[in-house]
């Protein structure tokens, strides 16, 4: 048995070790599945070469040769798919395109398996250790070359595109080296051991070596740049939930990322060149921009900010912050620009200054002006206690105001009830219609719930799609009736949102708790903790409502 056989086995074991390493150390994503499939196909080649060399059974030799070339055929399509993921083009590959891309590989593999009239391979010297390739072998080679050039096209376009960020370009560069190494070894194997085999001695293991070395390149890219990291993959969804405008530029000032909030007041696109000095020249600056521009131009690794005024339909005030993005060597590779809208704050400051001026100029109107300031402060207090999306009270109100109301009810032995509800399958609404429509559904749902409440009832947005209703002077029986009115009204209300033709209908899962029996000598010292305990019991009832099929009401038993 030749040493080349054990050489192929060694490369297979090394590739298998790399496979296990990636499997254990990387979070599961769609791209990880693609890479593991790609890596698995790479492992089959040296394994089948080893198996072919150790058996003397001609049928088994043909089986292993066939399996190795089937894996090689499928490796071409896997190669192309992996480069699409690495360059960020995977989103452009729908099911139809994936099917079209896999057809040549499948056709090549089918021809290899069928081997009609020995058009693919036929044995020499009574076995397939030495074999002669037919016309179909060259069809497979041509198909693999087509996949190779298509992969190169993806990689070169990504490398030379101004829209590609620096990190992606670096991993593309290393990937190109891996592909060239594999292609060089495979073509050398083809030239020496197939085309010139009658004139030159056989040099075994070239393709196996190329596969192993390219595998090392791919694993290096994956671990060095966190290509399969689910946090990196999900970053776009995260920044789109931030209410501030965010722009990410690379070291060449090319825009590589913007979030949805930014597009509301700055008309830029990914791939555009962002000239900071030109931009500041198009807006009004509060104060001097010299220090900010010095830090920006000379790439000082410090956070700097400046206030700007954008004149559109109305004047809008923004705090523009520039934060450096640095690599592990503290070298700046880009910046994050954040636009924080402070128009409301500036308006309030301006209004306060106007009021102060009136105070100085019209001392005889002091009482009237004090009243106006009191009203303005009350509005600010209400804003602090009100959820901006739904116009309901917020969690701050829960801790600041509602706890005092509950304390008074306990002292007066007045029964009260709390219900906790959320919108069923709200994530599905966001996934289907988007977060803007999801916010609209939350707002309309809150307004519908308000219609079913009494004037003394209090609606609080607890967080996300969860709400709390406080029913004062309400025992368990009445609380169940009121909760059912709320649930039924929401269920029967159809919400027209955005440009959607079909109305959106939602249901609620409700958990409730009624407090009717009191111990006047035992008033909780920690009122906030006491209220949180009540909400925890109501939350358990809410969980029970979800477990029992949603769109229903469950009440918890109150424990003193």
- The residues annotated as belonging to the active site are 465
CA–CA separation, 307 vs 286, rounded Å?
5
Q: Give SS3 for 514.
A: strand
CA–CA separation, 545 vs 543, rounded Å?
5
CA–CA separation, 197 vs 491, rounded Å?
78
Picking from 359, 361, 382, the residue whose alpha carbon sits closest to that of residue 371 is: 359
447, two tokens = 């307004």
CA–CA separation, 221 vs 158, rounded Å?
15
CA–CA separation, 349 vs 351, rounded Å?
5
- CA angle at 199 for the pair 193 and 200, rounded to the nearest 5°: 50
- Residue 238: count of CB within 10 angstroms of its CB: 10
- Burial (CB count within 10 angstroms: exposed 0-12, middle 13-18, buried 19+), residue 136: buried
Query: DSSP secondary structure string, 532-551?
Result: HHHHHHHHHHHHHHHHTTSS
How would you list the strands of the sheet with 332-341, edge to edge?
255-258, 245-250, 332-341, 315-326, 304-311, 284-286
Bin 413: left if φ > 0, else alpha if -120 < ψ < 50, else beta. left
39, two tokens = 């890596």
66 close to 41: Cβ distance less than 8 angstroms: no
514, two tokens = 């009624």
Tokens 């729908």 — which residue? 94
């Amino acid at each position: 048995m030749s040493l080349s056989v054990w050489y192929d086995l060694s490369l297979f074991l090394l590739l298998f070790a790399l496979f296990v390493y990636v499997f254990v150390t990387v979070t599961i994503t769609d791209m990880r599945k693609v890479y593991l499939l790609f890596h698995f196909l790479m492992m089959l080649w040296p394994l089948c070469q080893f198996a072919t060399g150790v058996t003397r059974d001609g049928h088994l030799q043909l089986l292993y040769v066939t399996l190795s070339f089937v894996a090689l055929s499928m490796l071409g399509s896997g190669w192309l798919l992996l480069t699409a993921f690495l360059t960020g083009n995977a989103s452009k590959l729908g099911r139809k395109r994936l099917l079209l891309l896999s057809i040549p590989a499948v056709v090549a593999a089918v021809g290899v398996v069928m081997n009609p009239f020995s058009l693919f391979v036929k044995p020499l010297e009574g076995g397939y250790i030495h074999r002669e390739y037919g016309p179909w072998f060259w069809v497979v080679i041509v198909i693999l070359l087509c996949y190779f050039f298509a992969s190169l096209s993806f990689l070169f376009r990504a490398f030379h595109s101004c829209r590609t960020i620096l990190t992606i370009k670096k991993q593309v560069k290393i990937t190109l080296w891996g592909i060239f190494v594999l292609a060089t070894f495979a073509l050398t194997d083809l030239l020496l051991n197939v085309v010139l085999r009658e004139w030159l001695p056989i040099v075994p293991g070239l393709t196996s070596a190329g596969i192993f070395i390219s595998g090392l390149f791919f694993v290096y890219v994956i671990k060095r740049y966190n290509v399969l990291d689910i946090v990196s993959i999900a970053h776009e969804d995260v920044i789109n939930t931030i209410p501030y405008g965010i722009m990410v530029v690379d070291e060449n000032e090319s825009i590589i990322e913007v979030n949805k909030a930014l597009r509301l007041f700055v008309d830029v696109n990914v791939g555009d060149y962002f000239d900071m000095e030109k931009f500041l020249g198009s807006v009004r600056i509060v104060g001097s921009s010299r220090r900010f521009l010095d830090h920006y131009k000379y790439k000082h690794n410090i956070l700097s900010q400046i206030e700007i005024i954008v004149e559109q339909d109305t004047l809008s005030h923004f705090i523009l912050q520039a934060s450096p993005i640095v690599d592990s060597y503290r070298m700046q590779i880009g910046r994050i620009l954040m636009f924080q809208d402070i128009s409301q704050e500036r308006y309030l400051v301006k209004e306060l200054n106007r009021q102060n001026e009136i105070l100085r100029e019209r001392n005889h109107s002091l009482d009237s002006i004090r009243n106006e300031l009191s009203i303005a402060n009350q509005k600010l207090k209400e804003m602090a206690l009100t959820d901006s999306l739904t116009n309901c009270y917020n969690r701050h109100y829960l801790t600041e105001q509602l706890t005092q109301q509950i304390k008074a009810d306990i002292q007066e032995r007045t029964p009260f009830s709390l219900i906790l509800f959320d919108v069923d399958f709200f994530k599905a609404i966001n996934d289907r219609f988007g977060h803007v429509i999801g916010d609209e559904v939350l707002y309309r749902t809150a307004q519908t719930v308000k219609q079913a409440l009494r004037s003394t009832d209090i609606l609080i947005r607890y967080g996300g799609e969860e709400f709390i209703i406080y029913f004062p002077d309400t025992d368990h029986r009445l609380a169940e009736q009121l909760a059912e009115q709320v649930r039924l009204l929401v269920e029967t209300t159809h919400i027209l949102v955005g440009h959607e033709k079909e109305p959106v209908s939602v249901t609620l899962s409700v958990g409730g708790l009624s407090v009717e029996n009191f111990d006047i000598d035992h008033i909780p010292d920690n009122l906030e903790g006491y209220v949180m305990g009540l909400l925890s019991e109501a939350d358990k009832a809410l969980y029970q409502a979800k477990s029992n099929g949603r769109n229903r009401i469950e009440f918890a038993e109150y424990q003193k």
